[in-house]
A and B are shown apart, each in its own frame.
Chain A
């Protein structure tokens, strides 16, 4: 009896509480949200203002198989919404004036800065993107050679959304290892480091086909864009920071009558700082393994001397790529390799004195590049197809 009464009271009490809080404040049905898959930040024409472009997915269009005859004439599966404003946050909010659904960012896959905005400095924009819990740190950071909004309008064939297309291009980078892939977390880590310079993927829109293409790496000094690395230099950078997954190295055959392509299958690297006679010396050790992927000369490359020479050429090619990157980095005076952090970790006492003058040190650091590369296999054939 007693217990029964207690239970009744408990239930009534709970009901009161439940009714009291039946606000469901954060409840949002799926069909009240606009999922943003890409965000572009441009400079607006008016000085001091910025233009945001958000790519919103239209779930209905993306799923429905297009009903015959060329896809219903222009009903794209996405909607690019643009807005001009003073800060990122206020502009995002202002977008709700145009969109009937609330913009929802957790599924945002790329954040694109236009070149001019990147040159001005990105820290002020990044702040909102890391402070707001809706943004995820796994979004890719991309710098557009031109306008960010154009990149979000590019044509795509296999992917349905331009933003997703870019994200997939970045994910597919490992085939060539010629473009860098930097997500928000990595960008932030570099941005917060005292010496390491941030980098981001660089994207260009081809004038004719209106398709997006990754073309290298954007290099920042502090938070400002200072220059670009081309594909070779980018791979040089990736060799050093141990980001090479795969890729093709083209060398000339030992007999000089054609080219051979070598596929990288495994690579690793180490940065070893040393302080000798008050001078910083850095050794970059790269170890690589590859296949012989194809040869365009008639020489029998599987003979030991040829094979060895091919290995040597591979090492040389790698070294030249690294040196190219190094040269560009010195030119820009941007420590994209993280040499500073390496010194910091090894010589933490001395570091305090060097820290502030790193900019003066960096271009003059002596760097030794040691490459040790191996060729392991030659595929299905050992000899080129030619009459013996």
Chain B
């Protein structure tokens, strides 16, 4: 599974990066790599079964807090 994941990410990198390098889009390349690495780390954590904090739970708490303020 992990191998598959790595292969997929390498595939995506190969898909996008060469064109960016060729056109010298360094800024875009940085942004791309940043997002890709973030995605990779999150995906890896998920595959490994590490609990990642759920942002939606945070939203829920926030909304409930505001609702309690209202009433």
Contacts and interface: CB of A to CB of B under 8 A. Distances in A.
Interface stretch (A11-19, A163-171, A315-323): A11-19
A9 B15 contact: yes
B11 A16 contact: yes
Contacts of B15: 6, 9-10, 13
B4 A20 contact: yes
A3 to B, nearest CB: 10
Nearest to A9: B15
Interface in B1-57: 4, 7-8, 11-12, 14-15, 18-19, 22
A100 interface: no
Tell me which of A5, A9, A17 has the highest count of chain B C-beta atoms within 10 A of its own C-beta. A9
Contacts of A16: 4, 7-8, 11
B11 A2 contact: no
A2 B18 CA distance: 9
A386 B8 CA distance: 92
Contacts of A13: 8, 11-12, 15
Bin the interface of chain B by size. Answer: 10 to 19
A6 B12 CA distance: 10
A16 B8 CA distance: 7
Nearest to B13: A9
Contacts of B4: 16, 20
B13 to A, nearest CB: 10
Interface in A1-54: 2, 5-6, 9-10, 12-13, 16-17, 20
Contacts of B22: 2
A9 B11 contact: yes
Contacts of A6: 15, 19
Contacts of A10: 15
A17 B8 contact: yes
Contacts of A2: 19, 22
Nearest to A6: B15
Nearest to A14: B11
A13 B18 CA distance: 16
21 contacts: A2-B19, A2-B22, A5-B18, A6-B15, A6-B19, A9-B11, A9-B14, A9-B15, A10-B15, A12-B11, A13-B8, A13-B11, A13-B12, A13-B15, A16-B4, A16-B7, A16-B8, A16-B11, A17-B8, A20-B4, A20-B8
Interface of A: 2, 5-6, 9-10, 12-13, 16-17, 20
Interface of B: 4, 7-8, 11-12, 14-15, 18-19, 22
Given A9-B11, A13-B15, A20-B8, 18 more contacts: A2-B19, A2-B22, A5-B18, A6-B15, A6-B19, A9-B14, A9-B15, A10-B15, A12-B11, A13-B8, A13-B11, A13-B12, A16-B4, A16-B7, A16-B8, A16-B11, A17-B8, A20-B4
